[in-house]
Structure 1
Amino acid sequence: MQGAATPASERSVRFLNPAWFTSVMGTGVVAVALGQFGQQLAWLEPVAWAAYLLSLLMLAGLLALWMLKVWRHPQAALADLNHPQFSQLFPTLPIALLVTALATRQIGPALLGENLAVPLAQGLYLLGSPLIFLFSVGVAFVIFTRLEVPLKEASGVWFIPPVSALVVPLVGGVLLADFPRALHRELLVWNGIFLGIGLLLFIFVLSTLLQRLYAFGRPSPHMLPSVWIGLAPVGLGILAPWRWLEGGARVGLLPEGWSEALPFVGVALWGLGLWWFTLSLMFWLDMLWSQPSRERLQFTPGWWSFVFPLGAFTLSTLALSRALESGLLLLAAWGLFAVLVGFWLVVLTRSILAWMGLKPLLPAGS
């Protein structure tokens, strides 16, 4: 009712939350998951196409609004950069580009044709990967030099700037063979650099977040969805080195057998994901049971934290189940997929309703 009472003149792109780019990430990863699981259920394939086209539309719309915000309200964009939480969401823009590149390569050819899908995926990758580095380092610099964020304010959002690097070798490995042969070696090195950044910084941030949970307990209800972000580096940590080595082997720069042991290493990391998924689910269910309805039903773009991280973990589970021929992991993959689609439908519906009222263009709390 508050939003309805707000004058239309107060709606402005200056209030656009950078967290909305996570909607592109979430819808893109759901499209990829639908395509992968559609290999067993053919009727999922057209649903994957629809989700992919929706992610393209969302990316184009949000990019236009974001560029308009930077152009017309640069001070608002700078204020976001100096915000302890909003600043760490800036890398979601290039992540959205890379996730769209992956979905374009895997789903796009059936809709757009190889001649359009492959160059589009390459362009998104070449644009997104350097932006990942610039945004993640830039955000870290601002936080370390301009802000003093207490440990109590730590949340899963802290994973985003450093762990965004893991998306680069995952997408780069899939796309490597599509590039000219003269670029293969340098792109393989480029992807490997990001692999080191993402995996090592994941360990540091994970230890900090666990320390915060031990010292201060679970986050407040509105930040609780961010706990699910911890699933993203687990899923990406399994898939990124795997696809990186596969890409190198595919173009003849690495031995074929180097990637064969990774599923056995990955299943150990998957155990951490299972633990984190269970803990996150228990946090959420406990909050739903004990908090007032006005708190548990309040929608924010942060709800997309339920989708992309779970999508990355689901895709890694499916990949491990196929590589290891494990019925247990295959059953887990289908279970996670069902939860993923359920979360996506709920969050997508709430997002559409919010945008129908242009609430994302209202001041926070309106």
Structure 2
Amino acid sequence: MVRRTALHRLRQDIADLHPGYAALVMATGIVSTGLELFGLHALSTVLLVVAIVALAALVVAYTWRAVRYPRRVIADVRDPARGFGYFTLVAAPNVVGVRLAEDHPLVCLVLGLATVPVWLVVTYVVPGSMVIGRRQAPVLPRTDGSWFMWVVGTQSLAATAATVAAAEPSLAASLAPWAVAFWGMAVVLYLMLIGLVTVRLLESPVAPHALSPTYWVYMGATAISVLAAAKILALSPTLPVLLATREVVSGLAFVLWAFGTWWIPLLLAFAVRRHLVDREHVGYEPALWSMVFPLGMYAAASATYGRTSGLAFMVDIARVEVWFGFAAWVVVAIAMGRSFLPRRGRPVPASSTHMVG
């Protein structure tokens, strides 16, 4: 009886699994990368193992869900508040791959290639279904920070292409143009989306629950753009695509870093309004990983770009920021673990499998 109940609960969890739950892997992988950049090898390795295990488990879970519950997957794709979460399935393997690239560049390449078909499907099907599909309600009122996962997923491919190109010089001439192309596409997407999402925030009153942690991806999208740019700038400057674009990539990367830094106080103000002013009580919600990821990515990006460009102050900022990312990871990991524990007289809430967007 207990086994049957556990199996039923597992099936329900898979059916309810949010498209953006792979942000757990993204957050864990990038905090591991940040710790590794500052020589904290043991701690970084522990988080890397957690990220790999979580990635494997989620790949199985999402595959099971697609086969067993295809209608739910299709409904997610058509939902503006959930569909862009599928880009975490692009970013998560690439974040792990970039972390592994120094010792295992082939693994990084394989993970990157495996995510290209996913990116192609999601990048055209999700926004395409909103434009040409049958809409039961307007789309723009349902925009939120999760839309920036489109940028994050695209930049993760740029970072992977540049990382492998640096590790395997024989592939540099082939991969460098792809790295710059994905980077450029993602920057344009960011400029487009920031207008749409900001208009959504300004157009009508925003309820406290709408200021979810996914809005931290506002900043996370700029941070991963800076990281991908730093990876590109580390390539040989004699490559034709670098001769044509190096100054643009470097300059825009710094502008994006500055803009992402400007966003941090405003995002903190969102949190203050939600939790201290409006006093909305929030326990564990998987969307919290969408806050941890930008914190970790900001540290990794600042350190990598700072070292590549000779801007020591950015490295100094990252040296402190990496601990904020790690502390946030620990807090959310503990909250997640507690959410899985049965409450006295009650089963684990179904919301433990949901990601608020």
Place the TM-score, normalised by the shorter chain, in its bin.
Answer: 0.7 to 0.9
SS of the residue 1:85 aligns to: coil
SS of the residue 1:18 aligns to: coil
The answer for the alignment partner of 1:31 in structure 2 is 32
Q: Residue 231 in 1 paired to residue 219 in 2?
A: yes
Q: Residue 310 in 1 paired to residue 295 in 2?
A: yes
The answer for the alignment partner of 1:4 in structure 2 is none
SS of the residue 1:90 aligns to: helix
SS of the residue 2:80 aligns to: coil
Q: For residue 322 of structure 2, what is the amino acid of its counterpart?
A: F
**In the TM superposition, what whole-angstrom CA distance separates every residue of 1:43-101 from its partner, at most 9, and x where no partner exists?**
x2100000001100000011111111112222222222222222111111121111111
SS of the residue 2:212 aligns to: helix
The equivalent position to 2:96 in structure 1, one of 97, 100, 103, is 100
8 Å Cα contact 2:233-2:250 kept in structure 1:
no
The equivalent position to 2:58 in structure 1, one of 62, 65, 79, is 62
The answer for the alignment partner of 1:347 in structure 2 is 332
Pairwise CA distance, 1:355: 4.2
Hey, what's the Cα distance between the residues in 1 that align with 2:52 and 2:353?
26
TM-score, with length taken from structure 1: 0.83
**In the TM superposition, what whole-angstrom CA distance separates every residue of 1:91-118 from its partner, at most 9, and x where no partner exists?**
1112111111111114xx3xxxxxxx23
Aligned pairs for 1:97-176 within 5 A: 97-106=93-102, 109=103, 117-146=104-133, 147=135, 148-176=137-165
Hey, what's the Cα distance between the residues in 2 that align with 1:363 and 1:20?
8
Distance 1:268 1:190, change over 3 A: closer
Aligned pairs for 1:279-294 within 5 A: 279-292=266-279
SS of the residue 2:79 aligns to: coil
**In the TM superposition, what whole-angstrom CA distance separates every residue of 1:263-292 from its partner, at most 9, and x where no partner exists?**
555333222111111100111123221233
Distance 1:255 1:364, change over 3 A: closer
Hey, what's the Cα distance between the residues in 1 that align with 2:310 and 2:195?
33
8 Å Cα contact 2:20-2:87 kept in structure 1:
no
RMSD, matched Cα: 2.8
Q: Residue 185 in 1 paired to residue 173 in 2?
A: yes
The answer for the alignment partner of 1:202 in structure 2 is 190
Aligned length: 341
Hey, what's the Cα distance between the residues in 1 that align with 2:119 and 2:74?
18
Q: Residue 244 in 1 paired to residue 240 in 2?
A: no
Distance 1:329 1:187, change over 3 A: closer
* 322-331 vs 134-143, greater mean Cα deviation: 322-331
The equivalent position to 1:48 in structure 2, one of 22, 44, 47, is 44
Pairwise CA distance, 1:362: 7.1
8 Å Cα contact 2:30-2:95 kept in structure 1:
yes
Q: Tell me the percent identity.
A: 21
Distance 1:23 1:186, change over 3 A: same
Stretches of structure 1 that go unaligned for 5 or more consecutive residues are: 1-6, 39-43, 110-116
SS of the residue 1:66 aligns to: helix
**In the TM superposition, what whole-angstrom CA distance separates every residue of 1:273-318 from its partner, at most 9, and x where no partner exists?**
11111100111123221233xx332322111111112222222222
TM-score, with length taken from structure 2: 0.85
Distance 1:255 1:217, change over 3 A: same
Q: For residue 36 of structure 1, what is the amino acid of its counterpart?
A: L
Pairwise CA distance, 1:203: 0.2
* 321-330 vs 308-317, greater mean Cα deviation: 321-330
Pairwise CA distance, 1:259: 4.4
Pairwise CA distance, 1:221: 2.3
8 Å Cα contact 1:30-1:341 kept in structure 2:
yes
**In the TM superposition, what whole-angstrom CA distance separates every residue of 1:324-352 from its partner, at most 9, and x where no partner exists?**
55554344323322221121111122223
Hey, what's the Cα distance between the residues in 1 that align with 2:18 and 2:335?
16
The answer for the alignment partner of 2:345 in structure 1 is none
